[in-house]
C-alpha cells in the first residue's frame, strides 16, 4: 500500500519496502519538519485488521491503542478501497485523530477508477488525502492534514459503525462502567466494550497490562458480563459468531460507502483477475498449479545456478593461484599465507560461488510471482492446510 514508502519520503530514512501486508515487523521512528514544527513519525507494521490474529497486528494494535499518538495516518490502496476501509473503521473505534491517506491514485487512474475524496471524507467524518507515495510533491497535502489534526485546528468527529440494537445496548452498558470506573475516553471505552463482549483473552490481557487496570476483576464488569451474555444468547448471538457479525457489519458499511464514492469507467476491469482466481485458487487446480510453479522455480534455480557457480569457482581459483604466487614472491610466512589465502579467501569465495548464483536466480523469480499477484493466491491455497497443522493463530 506504500506505507513505508511514504514514511521514507517524509523522514529521509531508508526502510526496506515491499508490496505485501505485514512487511514492516517492528516500529521504526523518523523525524520530519513542516512549517517550523518537528513531527515524529512511527512506521508500524502493515495490516488489514487490528483484531489480533498475528504478531504484526498485535504490534500495530498496541501502538495505536496505548501509544497515545497525536494523529494516526491510515494508508489505503485506491485500487481496492472497499477491503481497506475495514481497518479504517476499526481504528476510528479507538481514536478520533485519524487521517485517511489514499495511495496509488496513479494505479487507480490506469484502471479507470475514480474516487471522490471529498465525498469519502464526508462519509467517514475524517480528513481524506489522495497521494502517490513515490512523488514527494503529493505528500504536502498529507502533511498539512496531519498538522491540522495535531494542532486540533479542526474538530474531527469520525462516523462510527452502528451495529444491531442489541449489540449497541451491550456496548453502552460496558461503556458506562468503563468511563465511570476507569475514566477512559469514549473512543477507547467503546472499543474495549466490544472486546469485552468478544471475550478475546489475549486482547483483554494486553488492555489490562498497558492501561494498568483490572478489567475482569471489577465487580461491575463481572455483573454486567452475566447480564450481557444472557441478552446475547437470547438474541442467538453466540461468542464464537460475534466477531464474524462485527466484521460483516463493517464490510457491509464499507461496500455502501464505496458504491457512493467510487466510479468505474470499466465495470468489468477485474473480470480477467476473477477468472484467473477461479483457476489458481480452485480446490481442483490450485494446489497442483502451485506445486508446478514452485517446482519450475526450484528447478531453474538449482540447474541454472550450476553454470555461474562453475565460472565463479574457476575465476576465484585462478585468482587464488596468483595470490599464492605473490605471497611466495614476497616471502610471506607460511602460517600467514595459509590463514589468509587457504582460510579466509578460499572460504569466502566458496560461499560466494555456492550461494550467490541461486540467490541471484531465485529472488528475481519470486519477485516476478509477487508482482503478478500470485503469492497472495498461494497463501489462500495454503491457509486451510496451515490451520489443520496448527500453524496459524
Q: How many CA atoms lie within 13 A of 98 on its CB side?
A: 27
299 shares a domain with 229: no
Q: What is the pLDDT of residue 392?
A: 55
242 lies in some domain: no
From the list 48, 73, 47, the residue with the least C-alpha distance to 128 is: 73
Read out DSSP for 54-88?
SHHHHHHHHHHHHS--S-EEEEEEGGGHHHHHHHH
Below-50 pLDDT ranges, the chain? 16-23
128 shares a domain with 54: yes
Task: List C-alpha distances in Å: 240 to 71, 116, 142.
Answer: 33, 37, 40
37 shares a domain with 110: yes
103 lies in some domain: yes
**pLDDT tens column, 212-263:** 888 888 899 989 988 998 888 888 888 778 888 888 899 899 999 999 999 8
Q: What is the pLDDT of residue 1?
A: 58
**pLDDT tens column, 276-287:** 888 888 888 888
Strand partners, 133: none
Picking from 85, 119, 150, the residue at the C-terminal end of a domain is 150
Q: What is the pLDDT of residue 19?
A: 42
Q: What is the pLDDT of residue 26?
A: 58
- Cα(53)–Cα(202) distance, rounded to whole angstroms? 10
DSSP code of residue 1: -
194 shares a domain with 78: no
23 shares a domain with 146: yes
139 shares a domain with 82: yes
Q: What is the pLDDT of residue 384?
A: 77
36 shares a domain with 134: yes
- Cα(142)–Cα(333) distance, rounded to whole angstroms? 65
| Number of structural domains in the chain | 3
CATH number, residue 83: 3.40.50.300
Q: What is the pLDDT of residue 15?
A: 52
12 lies in some domain: yes
219: CB partners within 8 A, 6+ apart:
none
Distance of CA 313 to the CA centre of its chain: 42
Q: How many CB atoms lie within 10 A of CB 229?
A: 16
114 shares a domain with 23: yes
193 shares a domain with 123: no
Domain boundaries, position 16? 3-150
Say what the pTM is: 0.71
- Residue 123 near residue 260, CB atoms below 8 Å: yes
Rounded to 5 degrees, φ, ψ at 72 are -110, 120
Amino acid at each position: 500500500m506504500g506505507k513505508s514508502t511514504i514514511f521514507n519520503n517524509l523522514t529521509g530514512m531508508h526502510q526496506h519496502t515491499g508490496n505485501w501486508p505485514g512487511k514492516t515487523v517492528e516500529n521504526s521512528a523518523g523525524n520530519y519538519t513542516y512549517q517550523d514544527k518537528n513531527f515524529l513519525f512511527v512506521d508500524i507494521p502493515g495490516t488489514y485488521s487490528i483484531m489480533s490474529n498475528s504478531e504484526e497486528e498485535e504490534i500495530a494494535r498496541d501502538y495505536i491503542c496505548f501509544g497515545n499518538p497525536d494523529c494516526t495516518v491510515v494508508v489505503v490502496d485506491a485500487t481496492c478501497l472497499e477491503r481497506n476501509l475495514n481497518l479504517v473503521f476499526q481504528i476510528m473505534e479507538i481514536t478520533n485523530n485519524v487521517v485517511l491517506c489514499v495511495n496509488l491514485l496513479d494505479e487507480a487512474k490506469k484502471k479507470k477508477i475514480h474516487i471522490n475524496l471529498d465525498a469519502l471524507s464526508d462519509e467517514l467524518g475524517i480528513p481524506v488525502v489522495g497521494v502517490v507515495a513515490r512523488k514527494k510533491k503529493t505528500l504536502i497535502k498529507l502533511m498539512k492534514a496531519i498538522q491540522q489534526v495535531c494542532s486540533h485546528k479542526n474538530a474531527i468527529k469520525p462516523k462510527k459503525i452502528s451495529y444491531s440494537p442489541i449489540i449497541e445496548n451491550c456496548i453502552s452498558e460496558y461503556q458506562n462502567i468503563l468511563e465511570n470506573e476507569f475514566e477512559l475516553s469514549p473512543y477507547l471505552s467503546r472499543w474495549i466494550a466490544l472486546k469485552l463482549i468478544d471475550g478475546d483473552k489475549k486482547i483483554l490481557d494486553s488492555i489490562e497490562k498497558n492501561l494498568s487496570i483490572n478489567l475482569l476483576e471489577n465487580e461491575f464488569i463481572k455483573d454486567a458480563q452475566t447480564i450481557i451474555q444472557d441478552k446475547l444468547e437470547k438474541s442467538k448471538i453466540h461468542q464464537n459468531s460475534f466477531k464474524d457479525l462485527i466484521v460483516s457489519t463493517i464490510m457491509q458499511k464499507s461496500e455502501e460507502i464505496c458504491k457512493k464514492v467510487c466510479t468505474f469507467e470499466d465495470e468489468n476491469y477485474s473480470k480477467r483477475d476473477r477468472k484467473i482466481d477461479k483457476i489458481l485458487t480452485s480446490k481442483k487446480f490450485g494446489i497442483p498449479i502451485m506445486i508446478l510453479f514452485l517446482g519450475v522455480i526450484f528447478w531453474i534455480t538449482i540447474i541454472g545456478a550450476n553454470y555461474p557457480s562453475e565460472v565463479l569457482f574457476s575465476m576465484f581459483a585462478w585468482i587464488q593461484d596468483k595470490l599464492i604466487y605473490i605471497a611466495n614472491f614476497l616471502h610471506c610466512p607460511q602460517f600467514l599465507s595459509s590463514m589468509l589465502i587457504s582460510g579466509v579467501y578460499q572460504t569466502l569465495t566458496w560461499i560466494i560461488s555456492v550461494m550467490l548464483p541461486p540467490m541471484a536466480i531465485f529472488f528475481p523469480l519470486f519477485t516476478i510471482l509477487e508482482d503478478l499477484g500470485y503469492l497472495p493466491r498461494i497463501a489462500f491455497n495454503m491457509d486451510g492446510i496451515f490451520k489443520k497443522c496448527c500453524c496459524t493463530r
